[in-house]
Amino acid sequence: MSESLFADASRRLEKAWKHVVLSDDTIERLKYPKASLIVSIPVRMDDGSLKVFQGYRVRYDDTRGPTKGGIRYHPDVSIDEVTSLAFWMTFKCAVLNLPFGGAKGGITVNPKALSKFELERLSRGYIDAIADFIGPDVDIPAPDVYTNPMIMGWMMDQYSIIRRQLSPAVITGKPITLGGSLGRDTATAMGAFFVVQNLMPRFDQIPEKTTVAVQGFGNAGAVLAQLLSQAGYKVVAVSDSQGGIYARTGLDIPSVRQFKEANRGVKAVYCEGSVCNIVEHEVLTNEELLTLDVDILIPAALENQITAANAPAIQAKYVFEVANGPTTSEADQILEQRGIQVFPDILVNAGGVTVSYFEWVQNRSGLYWTAEEVNQRLKQKMIEETGRIWQITQDRAVSMRTAAYIHGLSRLGEAINAKGTRADYMG
């Protein structure tokens, strides 16, 4: 039987432990999630039949504040996956110095097979089942894979109905008209863009001479591809769940986005006359995209994309993890030995949770910021913490991933110790 995703995720801490003086309390507390919930969600389908879906919510650690984390709809969602994602969120919030702990949720479902009516019933049913487990001061969900502002709006509305009071701060990533924050829809990509822009000059990489491949042309990947393209980077390949396209001379990203939105796929993008520019291009698989000869590889799809099996074939010099957990711990070691720089998810994709925090603050205060204010605050946060982690890599001669975990562990350790440790009680 293969090792669980959570066991692999936990292994990331092994290298970081050696560099941080931690109390036994901290080590013991971080071994286990604080609370896990598995629920059944009965949904009346459009054809009159009843289907029961499995839902999950895990609150991993709330030492630094209420837990925070997305909800994903995917056929492969399991309690193991949700626990791993909640674990990563705990460190992500600590790395960005947000007053949150980590959580995650999900439903085992193929959302593409459901009508919008069925999706709404499923979303509201999920909140009915977990309402006592979440709250603005307890646990604040957000969107993730295959969930969006509309779904978050349904969920916030359902929670408000149950509580008999409007509760916008219970969920982030909502539509703007329901208390959402400007800049939230592009936050993950924007945060990753600030990290790329901050780190590449340290390696003397000039945008115009830097090629990029993006695996996962969804909410984050598509926006990031466009931001990089606008900044002068040459985006030569993109893919979605159906497959991808590659053009050595670079892709016209706005055209690819326009076509994908109209046709729900990128495979045949350069063919529709005025919709896109005709360029020489090849169709390729997700697996082939990962091993392209490019400067920057951006896995922005699901976890476990770069494994021990394909890590020896990775040709990129730099990997920016926009997905959660796209690289296994075994693959990490192979990439490190080969001198490939991996910039970890708990930093690179933290723009989403950072702007979710801004949305929660705006909901709590009733004061709302402009998109420019949101992006400026996000830029400041991302650059500040990127600089701190980079400094740890220089001081300790460790990888960026280990440095990020050292950074997050230090903050978590301080918070746990502040509640009292054996040294305080035993003298």
Distances in Å between the Cα of 275 and the Cα atoms of 253, 263, 270 are: 12, 11, 8
Is the distance from CB of 234 to CB of 206 less than 8 angstroms?
no
∠ CA 325-328-333, rounded to 5°: 125
Structure confidence at residue 373 (pLDDT): 97
Query: How big is the chain by its Cα radius of gyration, in Å?
Result: 21
CA distance 32 to 222: 35
Structure confidence at residue 27 (pLDDT): 78
3-class state of residue 42 by DSSP: strand
Is the distance from CB of 346 to CB of 95 less than 8 angstroms?
yes
Strands 296-299 and 318-320: parallel
Q: What are 410's two structure tokens?
A: 């230090």
Is the distance from CB of 77 to CB of 108 less than 8 angstroms?
yes
Stated as kind and residue range, the H or E segment containing 118 is: helix 116-130
Burial-class residue 368 by CB neighbours within 10 Å (0-12, 13-18, 19+).
middle
Structure confidence at residue 274 (pLDDT): 33
CA distance 230 to 224: 10
- The residues that are catalytic are 104
Report the top-level CATH class of 33-178.
alpha beta
Return the number of other C-beta atoms located less than 10 Å from residue 29's C-beta. Answer: 17
Paired residues of 56 in beta bridges: 38, 106
The whole-number mean pLDDT for each consecutive block of 10 residues of the chain, a chain of 427 residues, reads: 61 74 78 94 97 98 95 95 91 95 97 96 98 97 92 98 97 96 94 97 94 92 95 93 86 84 58 41 84 95 89 96 91 94 95 96 96 97 97 94 92 82 65
Boundaries of every domain in the chain: 33-178, 187-348
3-class state of residue 300 by DSSP: coil
Give the CATH superfamily of 187-348: NAD(P)-binding Rossmann-like Domain (3.40.50.720)
Is the distance from CB of 142 to CB of 170 less than 8 angstroms?
no
